[in-house]
Structure 1
Amino acid sequence: MANSINNRLPAMSTLGPLVALFIACAVFATQSPQFLSGANFSLILQQLMVVGVIAIGQTLVILTAGIDLSCGMVMALGSIVMSKMAVEAGLPAPLAILCGIAVTTLFGLFNGLLITQIKLPSFIVTLGSLNIAFAITQIYSKAQTVTDVPPMMSALGETFGIGGTQVAFGSVLMIALYLGVWFWLRETASGRHVYAVGNNPEATRLTGIPTLRVLLGVHLFAGVLYGVAALLSVARTGVGDPNAGQTENLDAITACVLGGTSLFGGRGGVMGTLLGALIVGVLRNGLTLSGVPSVYQVLITGILVILAVAIDQLSRKGAR
């Protein structure tokens, strides 16, 4: 009986955020006639697409019982590198984009090597990486916004029509990435290894699974995703902003926690994270339309995070 309940936990962890999302939508629909419009939901997705992609990488790290505090600033560094390479160095846009993604990937590799080879805690490693990425971003950009980026770098910020609603290409890319990573985690052996490492790394190692390689691969892949998020940031704003990324790390962790991913590792998934990101986006959008000051939006989000972690802790105790 207990085993059957435990087997259903991933589905239950996704069901809770889904119910919460529907309740939030129902409440805000009564507060503002604009809330349920297609244009408003498209706006929510556009506002989420950068944090949403960062949160995919954050989810993978958390599933292995780690955490990445550097993700937002690494994304900001990637956006500055690709925009400056295109605007000031004169590189073709595709090559400039690859340079930015290469930088974020190197940070993922750097974090992964320190965690797997020197056995440093992910919290300490990524806290240090956050400060390093912030300093490099400010030095390299001279704290100046990079403007006049080539059209190709802002293409994902463009929209196309679906039933009279304008949808950003970047929003479609975000959803496609979620679906791709969801399939990988669910249907492939390497994806299941991520869960195994988060559940019990020592037992996983004894079964012959290279746990250190899995951890390194997760951080490397997360770095690639931060590079994609950097491109989406440039596409959405049309500039390379050195002051971007200062809250995205906490927003990404919030999306993961609200989506049912356990901070203790081994439980959760990216589709829950997508729901968590949507919950945050819907709350902020709905409260804004209702005229609630932004400081209360932050307050409510903080309360929800604490509740989600408390529920996760209680469910773990109940499963023992």
Structure 2
Amino acid sequence: MANDPAPDKSGGAVTTAPREPDAGFPDRKPEPLGLRIQHVLHANPILGPLAVLVLAIIAFSLVSGRFLSVANLGLVLAQVTVIATLALGQTLVILTAGIDLSAGAIAVFSSIIMANLATKAGLPGPVALLLGFAFGTAMGLLNGLLVTRMKLPPFIVTLGTLSIFFSLNSVVSKSETVRGSDMPDIMTWTGNTFGVGGFRITYGSIIMLLLFAFFFYALSRTAWGKHVYATGDDIEAARLAGIRTDRVLLSVYTVAGLIYGIGAWVLMGRLASASPNVGVEYNLDSITAVVLGGTSLFGGRGLVLGTLVGALIVGVFRNGLQLGGVDVVWQGFAIGLLVLVAVSIDQWIRKVKV
């Protein structure tokens, strides 16, 4: 053959010296530290929030000796339970590159519906709860229909329903708070506590943790979860791949509404009442927890466990700053600064070249 080595004069084949594997190729330089961190955070988005949470716990434990007390840590968990539950539903929506500004309004309105069905309509507590969950689900379904059928932007849709649900809330409640003592015990059962090694944990916290465990499995191990991520990452590519993206979006908003309805039950236990005058800050707090937890506002990337860490970050910061004697105004300033930093880091991580 033409490429065979020619024989030498002694009849043997000419041997070619082996080529050095790296001859002619310059040595590759190691990646800069910043780029390596960028790659690690892109592959493991929960690491950043966990680092912030650990550093915050260490810092506030040095500021106040009471911070790491069993009683205070139990209080922090109880305080973040409602926001974490609402943030779970918010996470599902944001994973699809949407946003839900009506989360707090749905939760508060659902709690008022439950309380009034149990007290004024005289329905048994379990029935009132189930109907309240159904109302929350229906409100989420309405958001989903407006987004998928009317093709309206999620921001505009949920901004509008935010006002609608809060207005209906005032009409139904007549701006009156329903006391827990007037309701069946099951309505405020989520606020009851039990002891675990010195900690006092509410049943509402257990419900919240079970919800996170369920949706962690659903998003990571089911076809529905994979479709949610695909829709948020690139909705057109997902549609071309055969995913019925409208159905996915509709299911996400509907399921989020159900989660907000369950959050209403947790809220009644936390307040030991059903008040129409709460929840104004719940929408922003739930979004804050999601963003701090590493879920991208542009969709397609994030973990529900990150949202739980994000909610804990908010609770730890507020509790720690309060123990440190920081004014409430500056507590809000610190949380807002954290959000800006988290979004900036998210933008930086998304620029990684894979």
| 1:201-240 equivalent positions in 2, closer than 5 A | 201-240=235-274
Q: Using the TM superposition, give the Cα deviation of residue 318 of structure 1 relative to its aligned residue in structure 2, in angstroms.
A: 3.6
Q: Using the TM superposition, give the Cα deviation of residue 314 of structure 1 relative to its aligned residue in structure 2, in angstroms.
A: 2.0
Q: Is the 8 A contact 1:101 1:224 kept in 2?
A: yes
1:141 aligned to 2:212?
no
Q: Is the 8 A contact 1:53 1:226 kept in 2?
A: yes
Q: Distance in 2 between matches of 1:23 and 1:92?
A: 47
Q: Distance in 2 between matches of 1:41 and 1:185?
A: 29
Residue among 220, 227, 230 paired with 1:193 = 227
Paired letter, 1:76: V
Which whole-Å deviations, capped at 9, do the CAs of 1:274-298 have from their partners, x for residues lacking one? Answer: 0000000000001111111111110
Residue among 148, 159, 162 paired with 1:130 = 162
Aligned to 1:87: 119
| 1:45-194 equivalent positions in 2, closer than 5 A | 45-147=77-179, 148-194=182-228
**Alpha carbons of structure 1 residues 7 and 108: separation in structure 2 relative to 1, 3 Å:** farther
Aligned to 1:22: 54
Residue among 286, 293, 317 paired with 1:283 = 317
Tell me how large the CA RMSD over aligned residues is. Answer: 1.7
Structure having the higher Rg: 2
Q: Using the TM superposition, give the Cα deviation of residue 5 of structure 1 relative to its aligned residue in structure 2, in angstroms.
A: 9.2
Q: Is the 8 A contact 1:10 1:267 kept in 2?
A: no
TM, length-normalised to structure 2:
0.87
Name the SS of the counterpart of 1:243 in structure 2: coil
Q: Is the 8 A contact 2:190 2:266 kept in 1?
A: yes
Aligned to 1:313: 347
Which whole-Å deviations, capped at 9, do the CAs of 1:17-41 have from their partners, x for residues lacking one? Answer: 1010000000111111111122211
Q: Using the TM superposition, give the Cα deviation of residue 10 of structure 1 relative to its aligned residue in structure 2, in angstroms.
A: 5.5
Q: Using the TM superposition, give the Cα deviation of residue 11 of structure 1 relative to its aligned residue in structure 2, in angstroms.
A: 4.8
Q: Distance in 1 between matches of 2:56 and 2:306?
A: 16
Name the SS of the counterpart of 1:35 in structure 2: coil
Q: Is the 8 A contact 2:288 2:310 kept in 1?
A: yes
Q: Distance in 1 between matches of 2:143 and 2:105?
A: 14
Q: Using the TM superposition, give the Cα deviation of residue 125 of structure 1 relative to its aligned residue in structure 2, in angstroms.
A: 0.2
Which whole-Å deviations, capped at 9, do the CAs of 1:184-239 have from their partners, x for residues lacking one? Answer: 11111111110000001111111111111000000000000000000001111111
Q: Distance in 1 between matches of 2:43 and 2:206?
A: 24
Q: Is the 8 A contact 1:82 1:100 kept in 2?
A: yes
Q: Distance in 2 between matches of 1:7 and 1:140?
A: 51
Name the SS of the counterpart of 2:200 in structure 1: strand
Aligned to 1:13: 45
Aligned to 2:63: 31
Identity %: 52
Q: What residue ranges of structure 2 are gaps of 5+ in the alignment?
A: 1-30
Q: Write 1 or 2 for the structure with the bigger share of helix.
A: 1
1:241 aligned to 2:275?
yes
Name the SS of the counterpart of 1:209 in structure 2: coil
Paired letter, 1:300: A
Q: Is the 8 A contact 1:10 1:268 kept in 2?
A: no
Q: Distance in 2 between matches of 1:157 and 1:225?
A: 17
Q: Please list every run of at least 4 consecutive aligned residues from structure 1 whose deviation after the TM superposition is greater than 2 angstroms.
A: 4-12, 317-320
Which whole-Å deviations, capped at 9, do the CAs of 1:20-67 have from their partners, x for residues lacking one? Answer: 000000011111111112221111111111111000000000000000
1:267 aligned to 2:301?
yes
Q: Is the 8 A contact 2:110 2:136 kept in 1?
A: yes
Deviates most, 175-184 or 258-267: 175-184
Q: Distance in 2 between matches of 1:105 and 1:166?
A: 31
Q: Using the TM superposition, give the Cα deviation of residue 8 of structure 1 relative to its aligned residue in structure 2, in angstroms.
A: 5.4
Paired letter, 1:149: M
Question: Size of the alignment, in residue pairs?
Answer: 319
Q: Is the 8 A contact 1:73 1:244 kept in 2?
A: no
**Alpha carbons of structure 1 residues 243 and 232: separation in structure 2 relative to 1, 3 Å:** same
**Alpha carbons of structure 1 residues 89 and 181: separation in structure 2 relative to 1, 3 Å:** same
Q: Distance in 2 between matches of 1:19 and 1:155?
A: 34
**Alpha carbons of structure 1 residues 169 and 11: separation in structure 2 relative to 1, 3 Å:** farther
